[in-house]
Homo-oligomer: A and B are copies of this chain.
Amino acid sequence: MTLIADTEPTVFETVESEVRSYCRAWPTVFERATGSRLFDEHGRPFLDFFAGAGSLNYGHNNPALKRPLLDYLGSDGITHGLDMSTTAKRRFLETFRSAVLEPRGLPYKVMFPGPTGTNAVEAALKLARKVTGRKTVVSFTNAFHGMSLGSLALTGNAGKRAGAGVPLTHTTQMPFDHYLGGVTPDFLWFERLLEDSGSGLDHPAAVIVETVQGEGGVNVARAEWLRGLADLCRRRDMLLIVDDIQMGCGRTGDFFSFEEAGITPDIVTLSKSISGYGLPMSLCLFRDELDMWRPGEHNGTFRGNNPAFVTATAALETYWRDGTLRDRTLRRAATVEAALAELGTEAAPRGRGLVWGLEFEDGERAAAVCRRAFELGLLVETSGPRDEVVKLLPPLTVTDDELDEGLGILARAVRHTA
């Protein structure tokens, strides 16, 4: 019997900080992963409907990306390149241009602002403020844009904001789509503030928006609302930043989540699944005429993570030369929605493409659903201001069987916790 050994604290408990969180919800030690499945050190499989919080849209260790990565590392390609020109970066830029920018007619320059999402958001803020000479940036209720000081000021969550330890300034929140329950016209308040020189709103440099708020509880903005916002930004001379860190790279179907609405943001941030393999990488895209950076005005040690450029290139070549993945994602949206609707939760399921949210009466119930799902072999997590929304982010490469299996487990977890 080894019961005593079982209760000895692990190195995670004795050495790692109390700040750790997902490991508490999923109390096992993971070892390897392929496609839609993770395996713990005892070989137990888990279907992964969290996908690295959206960083693994093409699944774990996708062979189409793994091969070029191993080849690159094996041939002693540049691993760490700062912002030096490298062959790997060139291939990525050429592929991003030909597979992403040109087909969509997007007039963007590409910046490597450091490998994390918050690096990209901080760079976008700097650029918007530099170009306009203004300071205020508008974000939306329940927005999440990152945890460094500039990004955190845009984030809605009170607990995360409090962590700053200093006041968060130069930002203002506006109501996201649906926030006021449909009783007021879209942008009524925002537009009044802008048109009235006595409103107290200093003219914003920019507006930053997620088309679907992932951390905020899977709140989906209508295409019509996004068009209204883009129009407002144009009329009122504010830059429009779409933070597509979680919803880009095909999560909602199209490569960019804003394509459906037919808008062209001034600045776009990408990260999470841009490398496609879970490797740290992010991009900040902006209209050519906004490219007023002085050399080195923003930088970062790991902005040239070349192995990530290799997998990013492979991902674009594999999935974004045609519309196959996009079409499949859009088709599956209907499957997921139908399955979730049958669960009979109070609020209708919310989502687009392969991001879906299931709102429960409170955070306890949602946590119970996730816990039960884990026991049944499915990884899902909560989101929303009260952690009351179970969020589904399966890999886009999930098979039909896996999708059915996961939805089936979720249904059972909901029933078991009722």
- Say yes or no for A139: interface residue by CB 8 A criterion: yes
How near does chain B come to A164, taking the closest CB pair, in angstroms?
6
Within 8 A of B (CB), among A300-337: 300-302, 305, 307
Proximity string of chain A (63-107) to chain B, C-beta cutoff 8 Å, 1 when within and 0 when not: 000100110011111111111111101100110110001000000
CB 8 Å contact bits of A214-231 with B (1 = contact, 0 = none): 001100000000000000
Q: Is A109 touching B15 in the complex (CB atoms < 8 A)? A: yes
- Indicate whether A345 reaches chain B with its CB closer than 8 angstroms: no
Among B12, B169, B305, point to the contact of A166 (Cβ < 8 A).
Answer: B169
Which B residues are CB-close (under 8 A) to A16? Answer: 89, 93, 109-112
Cross-chain contact B111 with A114 (CB below 8 angstroms): no
User: Contact between B122 and A149 (Cβ–Cβ < 8 Å)?
Assistant: yes
Q: Chain A contact residues (Cβ within 8 angstroms of B): what range?
A: 35 or more
Q: How far is it, in angstroms, between the C-alpha of A199 and the C-alpha of B386 when the chains are bound?
A: 11
- Determine if A17 and B293 form an interchain contact, defined as CB atoms under 8 angstroms apart: yes
Does A47 reach chain B (CB closer than 8 Å)?
no
Choose from B33, B185, B277 the contact partner of A183 (Cβ within 8 Å): B185
Q: Which A residues, 136 to 150, have Cβ-Cβ distances below 8 Å to chain B?
A: 139, 141-143, 146-150
Does A3 reach chain B (CB closer than 8 Å)?
no
A53:B82 contact, CB within 8 angstroms:
yes
CA gap between A168 and B302 in the complex, in Å: 24
Residue A404 lies at the interface, judged by CB distance under 8 Å to chain B:
no
Given A166-B129, A168-B202, A192-B175: A30 touches B116 (CB 8 Å cut-off): no
Which A residues form the contact surface with B (CB < 8 A)? 10-12, 15-24, 26-34, 38, 41, 52-53, 55-56, 60-61, 66, 69-70, 73-87, 89-90, 93-94, 96-97, 101, 109-112, 114-119, 122, 125-126, 128-130, 135, 139, 141-143, 146-151, 153-161, 163-173, 175, 179-180, 183-185, 188-189, 192-193, 196-203, 205, 216-217, 245, 271-272, 277-280, 284, 286, 291-302, 305, 307, 384-386
A227 and B244 alpha carbons, distance in the complex (Å)? 43
A-B pairs with beta carbons under 8 Å apart, 16 shown? A12-B93, A15-B96, A15-B97, A19-B111, A31-B78, A41-B87, A52-B81, A55-B80, A116-B119, A139-B200, A148-B149, A163-B298, A184-B184, A184-B188, A198-B216, A198-B217
- In the complex, which of the residues B22, B82, B85, B296 contacts A52, with contact meaning CB atoms closer than 8 Å? B82
**Considering the chains assembled together, what is the distance between the CA atoms of A150 and B150 in angstroms?**
7
